[in-house]
Chains A and B, each alone.
Chain A
């Protein structure tokens, strides 16, 4: 633990030093070999340090937050020194610093895009699609005929590419976020339906026999046995859907939208060769997607702490 901290601290100092050198003393594109030796040293040191820290299990936040955070920093650092050191053209791959600069400079614009795409289309579509999928699953669960009929249909709909439905949804629901939300509803409905159905059927025979022996009614069995045991499946669907919803919301905007939104921004700025803004938008999308997923994963942990995959973490 102590060795790990020392190694990481030395690596951080080396990294800071090399970044200052790169910005002030060296010409991009013709960097001396000694500099790459320094970069290699920083990488090796962080590797050793992270390896040690990853082995620490007592304060759990070290393994859970610090190690992945530092690893992310290392990747950003390498990205930065490689793009600047080799003078990679910004149209191909801008450096993280440039992207960060664009983020700050276009904060207002990016916020409006985020509000349009994420807060309106994605959240609405995700909630509606997942909610409907869940409700329909609970209703359909009693009818084997509907289950048999709906599941192949689900596979069929999942196979339809968004490129196909997005323009149709625009025709049905107009240019604004409602049509994007509709695309997301179509994309997220069936994953939730299929997972919830599987979850409702996941209680073991003996667990059902117990309810049966108490002469529990349909509703009681649903509430006290089948829904709790379906929770891991439902959260799985929510996590899948969070990713699908973000992809759907962005891609659907390629097919007609008012002049705002992350998908709109990407398609317009790439046409203008304004790659920095595209990357800034991608950064916002990645961040939003990770946070969305992370929140769902945290809530999941709260609800399904009893599931074998989380048990060992309970004290």
Chain B
């Protein structure tokens, strides 16, 4: 297992072109970061010595087994959790300063819609808080609901929608205030294959057009390979970064790219890295 992984990594590394746009500013800089939860019984080490630099405009996927600390890492970036040790900056600021500057939109693993607000008003919640004028709020809500294919459901309440529809509303909500940085925690996990494909393409187009920085948690290897410019493979607890895999498929790719040999090679590398991580468990 170990040798296979190393082999594949080596060969793919040698094939990879030298990174072109290294002059872009660093959006997220994580150095030697660890996080231990103090629980009633034993302390749980969720993240261990994580090092990761993400440049502005990158699309980075985090992939790894359940419970390996993907959500925790994302929460640290969002200032929803404090690291135990190590350093992190977001847009050159501390996570707290970045949060106060409303630097990111966070799509939580669960939809987190407020049941007393209609779908439309859920979308407008961040805009209300950030003081966007009422007419602009309406326009944004309409635009992003249309984008996730839910414009006919604007006046429904979240609990009248299916789980996948709720998750799409929460994606639209995070897009609505147009943050430069998107943190997405398994946004498409609850969706059927067709909807997922459709939203994958849309997200890719959005990313290409807006040059947002996207950090994206997923359990799906094809999804990660299709969307990402880099894939971060994490190990089971304590969460460490096993491998960072570059994945520069052509920018204007469509879903058909999934049948190409380049795609399959990268997907294979991710799978091998994941399997190698799993072997620590046994």
Query: What is the minimal beta-carbon distance from A274 to any residue of chain B, in angstroms?
Result: 51
User: Given known contacts A212-B80, A306-B159, is B106 in contact with A207 (CB within 8 Å)?
Assistant: no
19 contacts between A and B (CB under 8 A): A209-B108, A209-B112, A211-B129, A212-B79, A212-B80, A213-B78, A213-B80, A214-B130, A215-B99, A215-B101, A220-B129, A224-B128, A228-B116, A231-B116, A306-B116, A306-B157, A306-B159, A308-B159, A314-B160
Confirm or deny: A288 has a beta carbon within 8 angstroms of a beta carbon on chain B. Answer: no
Chain A contacts for B15, CB-based, 8 A: none
Chain A contacts for B100, CB-based, 8 A: 215
Confirm or deny: B147 has a beta carbon within 8 angstroms of a beta carbon on chain A. Answer: no
Chain B contacts for A206, CB-based, 8 A: 108, 110, 112
Question: Do the beta carbons of B115 and A210 come within 8 Å of each other?
Answer: no
Chain B contacts for A311, CB-based, 8 A: 159
Chain A contacts for B108, CB-based, 8 A: 206, 209-210
Confirm or deny: B114 has a beta carbon within 8 angstroms of a beta carbon on chain A. Answer: yes
Chain B contacts for A308, CB-based, 8 A: 159
Query: What is the minimal beta-carbon distance from A310 to any residue of chain B, in angstroms?
Result: 11
Segment 198-231 of A: residues with Cβ below 8 Å from B: 206-207, 209-216, 220, 224-225, 228-229, 231
Query: What is the minimal beta-carbon distance from B30 to any residue of chain A, in angstroms?
Result: 19
Confirm or deny: A101 has a beta carbon within 8 angstroms of a beta carbon on chain B. Answer: no
Q: Mark B93-104, 1 if CB is under 8 A from A, else 0.
A: 000000111101
User: Given known contacts A209-B108, A213-B78, A220-B129, is B102 in contact with A307 (CB within 8 Å)?
Assistant: no
Chain B contacts for A214, CB-based, 8 A: 102, 125-126, 129-130
Query: What is the minimal beta-carbon distance from B96 to any residue of chain A, in angstroms?
Result: 9
Please report the C-alpha to C-alpha distance between residue A6 and residue B194 in the assembled complex, in whole angstroms: 54
Question: Do the beta carbons of B102 and A207 come within 8 Å of each other?
Answer: no
Question: Do the beta carbons of B159 and A225 come within 8 Å of each other?
Answer: no
Looking at chain A, what size class is its interface with the partner chain? 20 to 34
Segment 59-117 of B: residues with Cβ below 8 Å from A: 78-80, 99-102, 104-106, 108, 110, 112, 114-116
Segment 275-309 of A: residues with Cβ below 8 Å from B: 304, 306-308
Residues of chain A whose beta carbon lies under 8 Å from any beta carbon of chain B:
206-207, 209-216, 220, 224-225, 228-229, 231, 304, 306-308, 311, 314
Chain A contacts for B157, CB-based, 8 A: 306, 314
Question: Do the beta carbons of B99 and A213 come within 8 Å of each other?
Answer: yes
Question: Do the beta carbons of A216 and B110 come within 8 Å of each other?
Answer: no
Please report the C-alpha to C-alpha distance between residue A224 and residue B102 in the assembled complex, in whole angstroms: 18
Count chain A CB atoms within 10 A of each CB in B99, B100, B104, B116 and give the residue with the most: B116
Please report the C-alpha to C-alpha distance between residue A211 and residue B105 in the assembled complex, in whole angstroms: 11
Chain A contacts for B115, CB-based, 8 A: 306-307
Please report the C-alpha to C-alpha distance between residue A106 and residue B99 in the assembled complex, in whole angstroms: 69
Question: Do the beta carbons of B99 and A216 come within 8 Å of each other?
Answer: no
- Closest-by-CB residue of B relative to A315 is B160
Contacts A210-B108, A231-B116 supplied; 15 other A-B pairs, CB < 8 Å: A207-B112, A211-B129, A212-B79, A212-B99, A213-B99, A213-B104, A214-B125, A215-B100, A215-B101, A225-B114, A228-B116, A306-B115, A306-B159, A307-B115, A311-B159
Chain A contacts for B104, CB-based, 8 A: 213
Question: Do the beta carbons of B159 and A210 come within 8 Å of each other?
Answer: no
- Closest-by-CB residue of B relative to A203 is B114
Question: Do the beta carbons of B106 and A213 come within 8 Å of each other?
Answer: yes
Query: What is the minimal beta-carbon distance from B39 to any residue of chain A, in angstroms?
Result: 15
Chain B contacts for A228, CB-based, 8 A: 114, 116
- Closest-by-CB residue of A relative to B101 is A215
Query: What is the minimal beta-carbon distance from B183 to any residue of chain A, in angstroms?
Result: 9
Which of A224, A229, A306, A307 contacts B125 (CB under 8 A)? A224
Please report the C-alpha to C-alpha distance between residue A224 and residue B121 in the assembled complex, in whole angstroms: 11
Query: What is the minimal beta-carbon distance from B16 to any residue of chain A, in angstroms?
Result: 35
Question: Do the beta carbons of B130 and A209 come within 8 Å of each other?
Answer: no
- Closest-by-CB residue of B relative to A303 is B116
Please report the C-alpha to C-alpha distance between residue A216 and residue B100 in the assembled complex, in whole angstroms: 9
Chain A contacts for B126, CB-based, 8 A: 214
Please report the C-alpha to C-alpha distance between residue A311 and residue B116 in the assembled complex, in whole angstroms: 11
Question: Do the beta carbons of A207 and B129 come within 8 Å of each other?
Answer: no
Please report the C-alpha to C-alpha distance between residue A210 and residue B128 in the assembled complex, in whole angstroms: 14
Query: What is the minimal beta-carbon distance from A225 to any residue of chain B, in angstroms?
Result: 7
Chain A contacts for B101, CB-based, 8 A: 215
Please report the C-alpha to C-alpha distance between residue A228 and residue B118 in the assembled complex, in whole angstroms: 13
Query: What is the minimal beta-carbon distance from B76 to any residue of chain A, in angstroms?
Result: 13
Please report the C-alpha to C-alpha distance between residue A104 and residue B221 in the assembled complex, in whole angstroms: 80
- Closest-by-CB residue of B relative to A215 is B100
Please report the C-alpha to C-alpha distance between residue A308 and residue B157 in the assembled complex, in whole angstroms: 12
Chain B contacts for A231, CB-based, 8 A: 116
Please report the C-alpha to C-alpha distance between residue A216 and residue B112 in the assembled complex, in whole angstroms: 16
Query: What is the minimal beta-carbon distance from B182 to any residue of chain A, in angstroms?
Result: 12
Please report the C-alpha to C-alpha distance between residue A276 and residue B78 in the assembled complex, in whole angstroms: 71
Q: Which 8 residue pairs are nearest across A and B when measured between Cβ atoms?
A: A306-B115, A306-B116, A206-B112, A213-B106, A214-B129, A215-B100, A228-B116, A216-B129
- Closest-by-CB residue of B relative to A217 is B129
Please report the C-alpha to C-alpha distance between residue A210 and residue B109 in the assembled complex, in whole angstroms: 12
Q: Mark B166-179, 1 if CB is under 8 A from A, else 0.
A: 00000000000000
Chain A contacts for B114, CB-based, 8 A: 207, 224-225, 228
Please report the C-alpha to C-alpha distance between residue A211 and residue B130 in the assembled complex, in whole angstroms: 11
Query: What is the minimal beta-carbon distance from A210 to any residue of chain B, in angstroms?
Result: 5
Query: What is the minimal beta-carbon distance from A249 to any residue of chain B, in angstroms?
Result: 33
